[in-house]
């Protein structure tokens, strides 16, 4: 029997993944494997899939059906106009975090700034900031040595000069001060496991997802030392869960009463970001 056309293969993938109650990421995988744009794919819709392509596509879709994220299957994820290598040692960068980067760039000076990305993971935030603001001195840290290897690879491949450190929050930076600190820290409460996607729980690193004290433990650590790590007039930008705004507002008031706290909504209308100016 002849191999299917590209169009028929995509229809098969859609049906197969629906049977397994999985999101249809077949098109994303196919475009990534072929290095095509959507327009190029449309031009090939009626072409028969070469045998190696069809075998690879079937294997990829089988992996999707077992909850494996498409970004881990192909080994990279798009973020802020660049492709970042990702592995199960790092979170998959989300589009919501692009909002945080955009907000940071829009409100921050274009002059030289010393910047720290706490919990850098794949390095997506740090590298994106450095590429957008070459004059900034960007530092990045993570508690995971495996994540730092991925982040270093991304920075080298994208030619972004970022300084990487292994650190538990500010442990490695006691004598340093920064103009700007940004973070997408672990903020999910362990009790939320029951409502989370299987793909996230099975494949993404728990260390980068969960925090104790209803998901606020890492933010408590950050806030406790923020005044000593920021210069006067410095800013902190952070991402948090869509139900955590009241608790974070209270925490910031208690620990950083001198701080000017601003919250911002994501594209879905949820308050998911905060800025603290000291």
Helices 145-157/124-132 angle, 10° precision = 30
What is the pLDDT at residue 267? Answer: 86
The CA distance from 278 to 272, in Å, is 20
How far is Cα of residue 210 from the mean position of the Cα atoms in its chain?
Answer: 15
The residue extents of the domains of the chain are: 6-66, 90-277
Q: What is the CA radius of gyration of the chain?
A: 21
pLDDT tens-digit series, residues 130-141 = 999 999 999 999
User: Does the annotation flag 142 for ligand binding?
Assistant: yes
What is the pLDDT at residue 265? Answer: 96
pTM: 0.95
Residue 167 burial (CB count, 10 A): 19
User: Does the annotation flag 35 for ligand binding?
Assistant: no
CB crowding 140-153: b at 16 or more within 10 Å, else e: bbbbbeebbbbbee
User: Does the annotation flag 81 for ligand binding?
Assistant: no
User: Does the annotation flag 122 for ligand binding?
Assistant: yes
Q: Is the pLDDT of residue 1 over 80?
A: no
- CATH classification for the domain delimited by 90-277, as one of 3.20.20.150, 3.40.50.150, 3.40.30.10, 3.30.230.10: 3.40.50.150
pLDDT tens-digit series, residues 184-197 = 999 999 999 999 99
- Three-state DSSP at 81 gives coil
User: Does the annotation flag 241 for ligand binding?
Assistant: no
pLDDT tens-digit series, residues 258-270 = 999 999 999 889 9
pLDDT tens-digit series, residues 242-254 = 999 999 999 999 9
Q: What is the mean pLDDT of the chain?
A: 97
Given pLDDT bands bounded at 50, 70 and 90, which one contains residue 2? confident
The CA distance from 152 to 126, in Å, is 11
User: Does the annotation flag 123 for ligand binding?
Assistant: yes
What is the pLDDT at residue 67? Answer: 96
User: Does the annotation flag 185 for ligand binding?
Assistant: yes
Q: Is the pLDDT of residue 146 over 80?
A: yes
User: Does the annotation flag 186 for ligand binding?
Assistant: yes
User: Does the annotation flag 219 for ligand binding?
Assistant: no
Q: How far is CA 39 from CA 77, 147, 252, in A?
A: 20, 35, 48
The string of DSSP codes covering 160-216 is: --EEEEE-STTGGGTT--EEEEEE----B-GGGGGGS-HHHHHHS-GGGTB-HHHHT
In percent, the amount of the chain with pLDDT more than 70 equals: 100
**Phi/psi of residue 166, nearest 5 degrees:** -90, 125
Q: Is the pLDDT of residue 174 over 80?
A: yes
The string of DSSP codes covering 104-134 is: HHHHS-SS--EEEEES-TTSHHHHHHHHH-T
């Amino acid at each position: 029997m002849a191999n299917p056309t590209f169009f028929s293969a995509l229809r098969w993938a859609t049906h197969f993944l629906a049977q397994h109650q999985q999101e249809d990421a077949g098109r994303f995988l196919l475009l990534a494997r072929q290095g095509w744009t959507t327009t190029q794919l449309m031009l090939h819709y009626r072409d028969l899939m070469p045998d190696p392509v069809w075998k690879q596509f079937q294997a990829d879709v089988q992996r999707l059906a077992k909850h494996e994220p498409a970004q881990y299957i192909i080994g990279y994820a798009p973020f802020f106009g660049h492709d970042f290598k990702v592995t199960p040692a790092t979170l998959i960068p989300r589009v919501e975090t692009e909002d945080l980067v955009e907000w940071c760039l829009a409100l921050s000076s274009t002059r030289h700034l010393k910047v720290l990305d706490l919990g850098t993971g794949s390095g997506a935030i740090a590298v994106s900031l450095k590429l957008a603001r070459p004059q900034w001195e960007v530092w990045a840290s993570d508690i995971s040595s495996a994540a730092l290897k991925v982040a270093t690879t991304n920075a080298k491949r994208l030619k972004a000069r970022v300084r990487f450190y292994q650190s538990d929050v500010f442990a490695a930076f006691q004598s340093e001060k920064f103009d700007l600190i940004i973070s997408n820290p672990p903020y999910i409460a362990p009790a939320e496991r029951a409502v989370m996607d299987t793909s996230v729980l099975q494949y993404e690193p728990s260390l980068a997802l969960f925090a104790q004290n209803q998901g606020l433990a890492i933010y408590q650590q950050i806030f406790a030392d923020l005044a000593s790590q920021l210069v006067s007039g410095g800013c902190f930008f952070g991402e948090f869960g869509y139900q955590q705004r009241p608790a974070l507002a209270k925490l910031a008031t208690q620990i950083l009463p001198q701080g000017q706290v601003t919250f911002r909504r994501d594209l879905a209308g949820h308050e998911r970001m905060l800025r603290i100016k000291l």
